[in-house]
Amino acid sequence: MNVIEARALNKSYGATRALRDCALAIPHGRVVALVGPNGAGKTTLLNITVGLAAPSSGEVTVLGGHPAGSPVALDGIAFVAQDTSLYKNLSAADLIHVTRNLNLRFDQHYAEKRLDDLGISPRQRAGKMSGGQQAQVALTLALARRPQLLVLDEPMAMLDPLARHDFMASVMTAVAEEGVSVLFSSHVLAELERVADYLVLLSRGSTQMAGEVDDLLSRHRLLTGPASEEERYVEQWNVVHANRAASQTHVLVHCDAIDDPVPPGWEAHSITLEELTLAYLREPGAVALPRPALLPGAERSEVPK
């Protein structure tokens, strides 16, 4: 089952196109990092997914084919926005009471126990909480709805490093214990490698790269060799980004086959998720092509050399 599918998705705000023929398919059970530069369309995509906005054209389905924004979809998705959207004059207990009465399904015992474990008093008002505490309360209210999909839009942007770590630890506990699928938008690239197993990179409103993190990393290599020989091989390679010096050049390539040979005099190096993401962000025109689809029962073979 795919928790999110987007087909020919477009969204315009007046003359501004936030999404352009965006296509996406995110499988169930993944922790998905949604990254991209400012203005890439990340928040617009999330808002459409959770039913806060409607597409100009195209469609988004969630949780195995339900239209985004439909009652079934809304019941199965929880959303935590960047500003956490808590009523500052309400206490933690009041927020639990309000949320319980606004949702068909809400585990009050879970919410109360989780806040107790975090040391957050039920009488404490949201406006008197620290940024980390507010983020944890918002996450608690979302998880107490027992969602199948948890959507997080820059929820850690205003948190200090310790609060970010605690927040993500809570998310990963929910993934492990509840089987929740997670889609989160973040600019903190260093955190992606630790938690995400699936990556979606948006650029100019379209999907530039998407796939399982391990697969994406295995199909990219950093080649280092003489600058004088780059022209000799560049036409053979699917070059994502090149960093050139006087005598040496470093070229990040997308491999058609994992065991493509390395030219004589060149060295191949593995890369980190942060390095891969930054390379594509620097080259908005580059596109990581997905692996060819397999027919049922077929075995994968590498592209002939």
Render pLDDT for 117-161 as a digit per residue (tens, 0 to 9): 999 999 999 999 998 899 899 999 999 999 999 999 987 777 788
pTM: 0.85
CB 119 within 8 A of CB 161: no
CB 205 within 8 A of CB 174: no
By residue count, the chain amounts to: 305
With pLDDT > 70 as the criterion, what percentage of the chain qualifies?
91
Q: What band does 210 get if pLDDT is binned at 50, 70 and 90?
A: very high
Instruction: List the structure tokens of 279.
Output: 């390379």
Q: Which ranges in 149-195 belong to alpha helices (H)?
A: 161-178, 189-195
How much is the average pLDDT of 94-122?
Answer: 94
Residue 287 burial (10 A CB sphere; 0-12, 13-18, 19+): middle
Strands (E), the chain: 2-13, 16-27, 31-35, 57-62, 66-67, 77-80, 149-153, 181-185, 198-203, 206-212, 220-226, 238-244, 248-254, 267-269
Among 65, 23, 28, CA closest to 45: 23
CB 140 within 8 A of CB 101: no
How much is the average pLDDT of 26-46?
Answer: 93
Integer Cα distance of 253 and 90 in angstroms: 53
CB 50 within 8 A of CB 294: no
Integer Cα distance of 183 and 45 in angstroms: 11
Does the structure show a pLDDT above 70 at 256?
Answer: no
- Which is more confident, 193 or 96? 96
Residue 2 burial (10 A CB sphere; 0-12, 13-18, 19+): middle
Q: Given this model, what pLDDT does residue 192 score?
A: 76
Q: Given this model, what pLDDT does residue 22 score?
A: 95
Integer Cα distance of 226 and 246 in angstroms: 9
How much is the average pLDDT of 72-77?
Answer: 94
Mean pLDDT of the chain: 86
Instruction: List the structure tokens of 82.
Output: 């960047």
User: Tokens 């999909």 sit at which residue?
Assistant: 149
Residue 236 burial (10 A CB sphere; 0-12, 13-18, 19+): exposed
How much is the average pLDDT of 14-34?
Answer: 94
Q: Cα dist. 93→86, 139, 155, 179, 193 in Å?
A: 12, 15, 21, 27, 35
